[in-house]
Amino acid sequence: MLTNIVPELPSHENRKPTSFPSFGKTSDFSLYLKEFDLYFKDNFGMRSFLVKLELALNFFLFRETPMKDVLIGNEGWLYYEPQKKDGITLDDFYGNVNFTPEKIKIIQAKLHKLNRYLKSKNTKFIFFVTPNKNTIYPEFLPREILEKKSNYTRFHQIQKILEEESIDTIDLRSILSQKKSQEKYELYYKTDSHWNYLGAYWGYKSLLDKLKIQPKEYSFHQFYHPGGDLAGMLSIDYLIYENDIKSDTELGSLKDCISIYSKDSFYCESNEKHPRLVMYRDSFSIWLIPYLKEHFSRSVYLWGTANIDLSIIEKEKPDIVIIQIVERHLDNLLNLYQNEFSDKEK
């Protein structure tokens, strides 16, 4: 507005700047001045730069941030602690939000019906849980948080249900905890809330082992990449570069996949001799799908793990159904599907 000496940097604020007020809309001059004051505070020259400078100084000098969604760990690690409706991490880590007996009954009933329904269709059901980053890398959390770690969380409760219902489960807690000490690269991003292609690779191998499908072998190398989504929330992603992982051989491309059913849902096709797959998924699957897609003749990847549309199973007639869900979203199981089964299918 007042100067263009410093270029405006991209904003991560979750709101639009106040627009210039129109005096013609109000005859109250004092109200107009208030609106103009709000406009000026949002739009004065170098505002974006100065806001980001303050955030960067607080982070690098004092290890502080006003963003409650991001927890600053040790040795450059950032952790996601969502304050709104995007799951639960730390309270679950502490064991403070375990499911009540009533909620356990609801979840078990839903999983029981779904499992029975899929068995009636001769469809294999896999429940795939992706661990939170703090579950696999708790050692970089601040000491006062690590000391509160619980040995019994919602994941343990769901695991017990899955065992009682004889549902095939991909539980990556032990294998990822083991592999992180064996691999020379990290399995999760330091400045992002997700795993990387190496972490997803071990999820891929575990899944195909369960399905008795021969997985491909991959090797990896490291390269530098701008900071991830958590660094972006702190508006320092342009200041931080971290190690990223890339396969030495090209992974399957999603460019030939086609949108279907709903936003962020799509299908891919490969060898006709391979089985058919329907996967209900979240954002962690972005790193998993490039490994998976070529192992299935038709694989349908549906966004969301709550209120899932089971009618798609009738349409697609898959050999395998997978629910891939990150640990922090396990409460989605309370509202797992939107359409009930007929009495015949229960």
Nearest partner of 313 among 127, 123, 168, judged by Cα: 123
Higher pLDDT, 319 or 48: 319
Same domain for 283 and 321?
Answer: yes
Average pLDDT score over residue span 176-201: 96
Residue 341 covered by a domain: no
Same domain for 189 and 284?
Answer: yes
Long-range contacts made by residues 103-106, C-beta under 8 angstroms, separation at least 24?
Answer: 103/334, 104/157, 104/161, 106/334
The CA distance from 69 to 79, in Å, is 8
69-78, 172-181, 232-241: least confident range: 232-241
What pTM value is reported for the model? 0.83
Structure tokens at 295: 């192992």
Same domain for 154 and 262?
Answer: yes
The DSSP line for 33-68 is: HHHHHHHHHHHSTTHHHHHHHHHHHHHHHH---S-T
Residue 342 has pLDDT above 60, yes or no: no
Residue 219 covered by a domain: yes
Instruction: Please classify residue 300 by burial: count the beta carbons closer than 10 Å to its beta carbon, then call 0-12 exposed, 13-18 middle and 19+ buried.
Output: buried
Residue range 214-226, pLDDT digits in tens? 999 999 999 988 8
Residue range 62-78, pLDDT digits in tens? 566 777 888 989 998 99
Structure tokens at 261: 């059913």
Same domain for 99 and 153?
Answer: yes
The mean pLDDT of the chain is 85
Average pLDDT score over residue span 287-301: 96
Average pLDDT score over residue span 92-112: 95
Residue 65 covered by a domain: no
3-class DSSP assignment, residue 251: coil
* Residue whose structure tokens are 């896999």: 126
Higher pLDDT, 267 or 238: 267
Same domain for 246 and 309?
Answer: yes
**The total number of structural domains that make up the chain:** 2
Residue 86 covered by a domain: yes
The CA distance from 193 to 287, in Å, is 13
Same domain for 56 and 136?
Answer: no
Rounded (10°) angle between helices 29-43 and 47-62: 60
- Length of the chain, in residues: 346
Residue 345 covered by a domain: no
Same domain for 53 and 174?
Answer: no
Domain range enclosing 23: 1-60
Cα 254 to Cα 58, 282, 290, 336: the distances in Å are 39, 16, 7, 27
Same domain for 236 and 331?
Answer: yes
